Amino acid sequence: MTDDEVQQWIGKPVRVTLTDARIIAGTLHAEDGHGYKHYTVVSDPIKKGDDKVKLLIHGAALITDIEDASDDAAAVE
């Protein structure tokens, strides 16, 4: 995907498919990286009391698909 395609999903609960076929659900965040954007998907902890799970994605090119996950309580930050 491109930064323009990903931009509309920033701050929203999403289900992201990566180029390596991993799928992660959570709230999508973005910040400028080293010549490209860094995207972070933040979701609920795996075990109650643990820290939230964060996955850093180095650029939109590593994302193949984004879907709305507002119906997934674990994806809503």
| Sequence spans of domains, the chain | 3-70
Instruction: Please give the pLDDT value at position 76.
Output: 87
User: 13 pLDDT exceeds 90?
Assistant: yes
CA dihedral (55, 43, 30, 20) in degrees, to 10, reads 40
pLDDT in tens, 25-73: 999 999 987 888 999 999 988 899 999 999 999 999 999 999 999 998 8
Instruction: Please give the pLDDT value at position 24.
Output: 94
Q: CATH topology for 3-70?
A: SH3 type barrels. (2.30.30)
| The model's pTM | 0.91
How far apart, in whole angstroms, are the C-alpha atoms of residue 4 and residue 54? 22
CB atoms within 10 A of CB 54: 12
Strand, helix or coil for residue 42: strand
- Nearest alpha-carbon partner for 62 in 30, 32, 10, 21: 21
Instruction: Please give the pLDDT value at position 6.
Output: 98
How far apart, in whole angstroms, are the C-alpha atoms of residue 28 and residue 16? 9
